[in-house]
Amino acid sequence: MHRITRNLALPVAAAALAVCGGHSPSSAQQAPQPNSVTYVGSSGFLIRAGGKKILIDAVFDGFPGGYALPDSVRQPLLAGRAPFDGIDLVLATHDHGDHFSAASVRRVLQSSPGAAFVGPAAAVTPLADLGDRARALDVPEGERRALEVNGITVAAMRLSHGNPPPGNPGIVNLAYAVTAGGLTFFHTGDIDLGAIPREYFQALGFPADHVDVAFVPHFLLSVPGPAPFVTEWIRPRFVVPSHIQYTGGAPDYEQILTYHPNAMLFRTEMESRPIQ
C-alpha cells in the first residue's frame, strides 16, 4: 500500500462550465474567449482562465515523422504571437519529445518575459541557468506537492508512465491539477493505468477534488464502455481526449461520445472552446 500525504486541498470551482458545440474548424479557430481551452497539438493545450494563460505539454518538437506541430502553429507559439502572447505559466508533465523541448521552452519564455516554467527535474535541468523562471518539482511516489506561480495554483502528483525504454532507468510523469479563475483543470500526462491502483488515486484527493476539465489520452476513452478512471475516479465536468496525432488518423470520436457524452472534442490544431 502506498503512503500518501496531501499537501494542498484544491478549492471547489465557483464557476459553471459551458461548452459551445457544433463549431466548424474555421469558426473554432477564431480568437479565444476570455476563458477558454485551445488545442495546440499532441497532448498540448493553451488554457485561458481568470486572465491567466497556461500552456501544458504544448511546447515540444515531436519526433521525426510524428507528433510535430504544423509551422502555422509552431511559429506563433515560439514568437509569442496571439494567442500565445503574454503567457503566465508553461508546464511539462515529462521530458519526452512529444511533450517537451528545452530549446522551445526557452524561446517561449523569451517571448513572454513574465512566464515561468514548471516541470520534473529532467525537464528543468537544461534550463537551470534561467534561475527561478524554471522550477523543478520533486514529487515523491504517492505524495502531492503544490506551489503558486503568477497567481496560478499548481498541484503535482506522480502517476506511472509505464515501462521505460531500454537504457532509461525511470520516467517521472507528473500529473497536474491547475486552478485559475475559479476553474480547475487536470492533465494526466502519459499514464499507465495498470500501474495505478484506485486506492492510490483516491488518496491523492480524487474524486473529492472538483475538476472542471480533465485532459486524458484518447486511447483510454475510446475503448468499449465508460472508462472508470474518468467516470468514477476523476468525475470531471468535461473530459478532453489528448495525445492525438492527426497525421496518423483521428481518434474514434463517435465511440468516445457514446461512452463519454461530456467529452469536449478538438478535431484539428488551434481549435478553441469557450468556458463560462
For 170, the 3-state DSSP assignment is coil
pLDDT of residue 125: 97
Instruction: Pick the more confident residue, 210 or 30.
Output: 210
33 band by pLDDT with thresholds 50, 70 and 90: low
102 band by pLDDT with thresholds 50, 70 and 90: very high
What mean pLDDT do residues 79-88 have?
98
pLDDT tens digits for range 103-152: 999 999 999 999 999 999 999 999 999 999 999 999 998 999 999 999 99
pLDDT of residue 244: 92
User: Which is it for strands 152-158 and 134-136: parallel, antiparallel or unpaired?
Assistant: unpaired
Nearest partner of 143 among 124, 161, 156, judged by Cα = 156
25 band by pLDDT with thresholds 50, 70 and 90: very low
55 burial (CB, 10 Å; 0-12 / 13-18 / 19+) is: buried
Compute the Cα dihedral for 101, 106, 109, 115 and give only its sign: positive
30 band by pLDDT with thresholds 50, 70 and 90: low
Q: Alpha-carbon distance 167 to 55, whole Å? A: 30
22 pLDDT higher than 80? no
Entry pTM: 0.87
Look-up of cell digits 469558426 = 27
pLDDT tens digits for range 36-65: 999 999 999 999 999 999 999 999 999 877
Helix (H), strand (E) at residue 41:
strand 36-41
pLDDT of residue 168: 57
Residue ranges of domains in the chain, CATH in brackets: 32-266 (3.60.15.10)
